[in-house]
Structure 1
């Protein structure tokens, strides 16, 4: 079914925090500085502050008298319990909270602060307002009910969870029970073998699952920030199994989790490693060309590799390139980027070089603060106030299986966000060669997510425009990870597509058509056209020069 998206349904392209924030880090001192400047502005403009204080006082008075001034968002799960609307006490506390939120926003909007200062203020107060929500207290009606139903055991369990997280999880509530999954047994279970290993990566070749297979292999390059098995979580959402069942010879890179010994691994190091893995794929399959797929930072890596191959006049080794939620144009419009000044970037570089790596737990904290109600406060309520275990969810297990970034690659990514080098020819140099993406004439298929807060969809769209060759762009109806894990069995799957790529993402969206179903099926037809002739399936893995070394998922994925 196809229909045009509504004009008033244009998705928000960027949220408060994004990929740049996670790479740069978000310092508490910057938030405190913003709050201090807001307070100072309030003192310097007493009439402005008094006017909004009086408005707030008037609204609170009406709330105490029982008026319902502000409708609640039906999609806000924090206040879904009927007590928030039916119980006089809870209704008044919620209305007081919403009144405070509205007046703070109005105070900032109507102040004479600069646009940048207003954006920073909105960002800081959004975090503060989420933290002081009445749902985050023991008076939460769900917590009160659980307290009585459990005879007080929920409070005891909650305190135990809180102490454990303070000691072992950097003070954040756990999002998943670690014991619920095990790599190689409950996730990353597709049959395959490691057929090549070097210092940076293991190359996994998977056992075919079809009677016929295409001659050109698919090489999947995951982000260096996460482990590879996002492509092979559970059988019902395994992208690897979907590719195998449809005749694609599938290889996946599993990155090594670096430590202080590997601080000098930079983008060029990873590009050279992917080129070596690509050549192993060609040697094992006998194909002259390889289809590349890169996700997030893996997309940046395969783009840099193709630019490097083009400069060496060897681009013919690549048949096609698929980019999943990948940024090549790093210009992001977000309040959080206002904190990333020269001093902050240099401080981030110094910290990672002193430590040798950027710890994945530090990035995970920033990612969690992208959506605090979903990724922090909902678990605060579940784990501490209700005393329950976090749910067993494979995506969250993978998301919490953190990796590190070597200091050199971290520095390269910081420079990437600072200079946006791929937007002009020769702006980025990799392996001693300048990169010009317009000369990369490989056909490309790009996927973005409407609700993606990490790599905003409009930036992914602009990234597609940087590439040469035949380009196709699809906008999935999901967030960052769910845009990748979007199997045909998902009944809610749909995407937006417009074959004419204009220079303006908004114009493209207004003229696009909504399509029900998963983009996987469209990609499959696209990639099969670029995968050569079909032949009888060869079941053996590896070859004489690259024999199977050990069963998938290999060794590197297990390194903590």
Structure 2
């Protein structure tokens, strides 16, 4: 299995490198995290005005913060003017990597002045006595402003773009204008993040061999071909997030979780969700839970195993949690173990998405999706891009328009651009669950007519958080340890929301932390206590997970040569039709 080398992401000073040399950490950090969040809501205009008004009012009532930062800024700007300032950009800030920002006295002073002002503005919010949600909202609004006016976003303020224009005799500006016109026509005016042309579903991505063995209007079930002479008797059913196409888990050869599982003798079944239309607005949480339940019956028929393991990812994990609660109440133990990957179950822990949850916003967002029938994945991507404007907007603005370069060709970003919609019913249920934090309160959530208590779920669990995940913070994933009733192994992966998923075995730059599992019935330590006790390991948590699954996957038996069964024959080749936009 190949491992990509960490390199710098495309920015205002470098040419985008070939896909095989792109770095997950640099290219994907936060770019996919927001889109895969389970709460598709954002700061509304009303919220924005209210947040701004609250910020101004607080500054008036607490003038010392503004005065102190103003005095510090004045002193810093004086040092900048005489050339004695030591202010420098963050080492991860690619905007100021061009040598001119250090060697040219004009650009050096311009850059330092901007950085000093930026830090002073955001520092005022840090100094104010605001509640957590108000502070996060204020920081969000101010970052929109401060990142928009960065000098690197303009031609004259970007020495690398000016030099490239000279070197190409203006060709880069012509190409930049052409890219801008294309994005106005085809991308809603947003700069394109990726060149998707090299990535073909079923060939270069989503390429692990398998067959569709069952489908309904909501999902296709894919069974993957075994690659080992023997397979574990207990299969694995995977519930991917409904807000994305499943193949982030089967991204490309050498970077596929499915491929990794199959190579270790696991029988893998994957649900591939249909892309809903406005006619499917009624599909709700129960609809998806029922589909997963029906799929598990198919898995039992095909494999002959009475039980199986479950893997739930992000929003798919939330669906799986409710289904497990329903089955526990019914005394149905068809799932012998469950793995939750970057799954946000406790919404009380502060997070970027949680910042925008309020009764009026939830109601307004629900009315919008019900009116349209679906929440548009493309529109959602635009909304969430502005949650990280420097990474997701201005970075590509500079690369595509000022530098005149093509956006990078990278498989993860191509997957990210392959957006899907969310049915109004499921969208509304997710938002209601988040606002009420229903999964953490026994009996409050009803799934398929049954009151859910996650404490009655006694299957062994493996819970993965990601240390730099801003959408599903690991501290919000961690409470799952206490919510479930069985033995729980919590693992903290390095990197972020998507990098934790695409984490090939043998990754020399990856790491993860573990402690001993929390035994059934025992009280778990707090998240911070857990972190203090945890041991760091180099490599990928994939390898640790496979070891954990080994005793929970049953004995080995000879692999069947054919997929499916008499009742559920194999039909289409993987990845099936739904991932290509097909619909029942």
Normalising by the smaller structure, the TM-score range is over 0.9
How far apart are 1:35 and its partner, in Å?
Answer: 3.1
Query: 1:256 pairs with 274, 281, 287, which one?
Result: 274
Separation in structure 2 between the aligned mates of residue 69 and residue 86 of structure 1, nearest angstrom: 14
Aligned residues: 544
Q: Deviations over 1:228-285 (max 9, x none)?
A: 1111111011111111111111111100000111111111111110000011011001
Quote the residue 1:308 is aligned against. Answer: 326
Question: Does 1:272 pair with 2:309?
Answer: no
Separation in structure 2 between the aligned mates of residue 235 and residue 325 of structure 1, nearest angstrom: 23
How far apart are 1:118 and its partner, in Å?
Answer: 3.8
Maintained 8 Å contact 1:123/1:336: no
Quote the residue 1:5 is aligned against. Answer: none
Question: Does 1:558 pair with 2:576?
Answer: no
* TM-aligned CA distance change 1:45 to 1:499, over 3 Å: closer
How far apart are 1:464 and its partner, in Å?
Answer: 2.7
* TM-aligned CA distance change 1:425 to 1:18, over 3 Å: farther
Question: Does 1:438 pair with 2:431?
Answer: no
How far apart are 1:448 and its partner, in Å?
Answer: 0.9
Quote the residue 2:87 is aligned against. Answer: 70
Quote the residue 1:330 is aligned against. Answer: 347
1:237-248 residue pairs with structure 2 within 5 A?
Answer: 237-248=255-266
* TM-aligned CA distance change 1:339 to 1:278, over 3 Å: closer
Question: Does 1:121 pair with 2:138?
Answer: yes
Quote the residue 1:190 is aligned against. Answer: 208
Maintained 8 Å contact 1:218/1:290: yes
Separation in structure 2 between the aligned mates of residue 239 and residue 221 of structure 1, nearest angstrom: 13
How far apart are 1:526 and its partner, in Å?
Answer: 1.3
Q: Deviations over 1:132-183 (max 9, x none)?
A: 2222221312211211121111111111111221222122211111222111
Maintained 8 Å contact 2:366/2:424: yes
Quote the residue 1:541 is aligned against. Answer: 563
Maintained 8 Å contact 1:370/1:453: no
Separation in structure 2 between the aligned mates of residue 143 and residue 133 of structure 1, nearest angstrom: 14
How far apart are 1:534 and its partner, in Å?
Answer: 0.5
Query: 2:235 pairs with 217, 222, 242, which one?
Result: 217
The more displaced of 16-25 and 360-369 is 16-25
Query: 1:513 pairs with 506, 531, 535, which one?
Result: 535
Greater helix proportion: 1
Which secondary structure state, in structure 2, belongs to the residue aligned with residue 237 of structure 1? coil
Query: 1:292 pairs with 297, 310, 313, which one?
Result: 310
Query: 1:478 pairs with 488, 492, 495, which one?
Result: 495
Maintained 8 Å contact 2:231/2:267: yes
Separation in structure 2 between the aligned mates of residue 438 and residue 73 of structure 1, nearest angstrom: 44
Q: Deviations over 1:440-495 (max 9, x none)?
A: 00011111100111111000011232111111010000110110111113221110
Which secondary structure state, in structure 2, belongs to the residue aligned with residue 388 of structure 1? coil
* TM-aligned CA distance change 1:120 to 1:21, over 3 Å: farther
Maintained 8 Å contact 1:263/1:407: yes
Question: Does 1:418 pair with 2:440?
Answer: no
Maintained 8 Å contact 1:308/1:431: yes
Question: Does 1:342 pair with 2:359?
Answer: yes
Question: Does 1:396 pair with 2:413?
Answer: yes
Question: Does 1:495 pair with 2:517?
Answer: no
Separation in structure 2 between the aligned mates of residue 189 and residue 346 of structure 1, nearest angstrom: 40
Separation in structure 2 between the aligned mates of residue 490 and residue 47 of structure 1, nearest angstrom: 49
Superposition TM-score, scaled by structure 1 size = 0.92
Maintained 8 Å contact 2:38/2:315: no
How far apart are 1:94 and its partner, in Å?
Answer: 1.0
Separation in structure 2 between the aligned mates of residue 335 and residue 243 of structure 1, nearest angstrom: 32
* TM-aligned CA distance change 1:301 to 1:118, over 3 Å: closer
Separation in structure 2 between the aligned mates of residue 174 and residue 517 of structure 1, nearest angstrom: 33
Maintained 8 Å contact 2:369/2:424: yes
Which secondary structure state, in structure 2, belongs to the residue aligned with residue 332 of structure 1? coil
Separation in structure 1 between the aligned mates of residue 534 and residue 398 of structure 2, nearest angstrom: 40
How far apart are 1:372 and its partner, in Å?
Answer: 2.4
Separation in structure 2 between the aligned mates of residue 123 and residue 161 of structure 1, nearest angstrom: 28
Which secondary structure state, in structure 1, belongs to the residue aligned with residue 190 of structure 2? coil
Separation in structure 2 between the aligned mates of residue 113 and residue 287 of structure 1, nearest angstrom: 55
Quote the residue 2:445 is aligned against. Answer: 428
Separation in structure 2 between the aligned mates of residue 487 and residue 394 of structure 1, nearest angstrom: 14
1:99-248 residue pairs with structure 2 within 5 A?
Answer: 99-111=116-128, 116-138=133-155, 139-248=157-266
